[in-house]
Amino acid sequence: MAAEGFGGLAGKRIVLTGATRGIGRACALRLARGGAAVLGVARDAKALASLAMEAKSFAGRIFGHSCDVTRPESMPALAEAAEKRLGAVDALVNNAGAAVFGEIGVLSPEDFDATLAVCLKAPYLVTRSLVPLMEGTGGDVINISSIAAVDGFPGAAAYCAAKAGLEGMSRALVEELRPKGIRVTVLRPGATATRMWEAIPGEYDMDKMIPPEAVAESLEHLLTQSRRAWTETLVLYPPDGKV
């Protein structure tokens, strides 16, 4: 029997953004395999349908909702889909991420804004929209950050700014949502083997990076820990200790 205050994934109702690629895809499959009902959110409706089919034999289930999480006008339909598919929300995982990389002299204002829109504005919009469905559930908001929030990298000014902003917003929300019984946690992985590296100039050994499945494992840990306390920031490093 599970210790008092602990629980597994079975029956949890989870909204996950950026669900079709990289970390998000690994998380969606792990959560559904553990018995959770997952509303996977992404722009690619076809990829969402494929993801839901892949999880068809799992203990849990994945529902797809296609929208652009950077647009305020998308939020009412997202909240409606969460209520319709899940009933209420036990956890929100703000995972959607994108970035334009380039040195400051070539990084356009439009690309800077686009990076902040996905990595910072979208978590604000989605959290704001779904908090009403989380009140009373003892829910979790988990924001997927990056080592770029605390370490600078050449050509990554927009991405570093966005992730640092996400962690700053998370610290404020820790205190703001605590009285509502909602925990806010930052999950900060180091270099993770995703397709984002294809857009970054240089050569990288992805075999030495954190696999997305390891991030998914850490997410499960956060979602199943005792509600008597919580981890405000969980940092993951690759096996060799480098970012």
Catalytically active residues are 159
The amino acid occupying position 200 is I
CA angle 140, 98, 161 (to 5 degrees): 80
Q: Is 202 exposed, middle or buried (0-12, 13-18, 19+ CB in 10 A)?
A: exposed
For residues 157 and 198, give the distance between their C-alpha atoms in angstroms, rounded to a whole number.
17
SS3 46: helix
SS3 61: strand
Cβ neighbours for 141, distance < 8 A, ≥ 6 positions apart: 91, 92, 94, 127, 134, 173, 177, 182, 183, 184, 185
DSSP codes of every residue in 210-238: BPHHHHHHHHHHHHHS-TT---SEEEE--
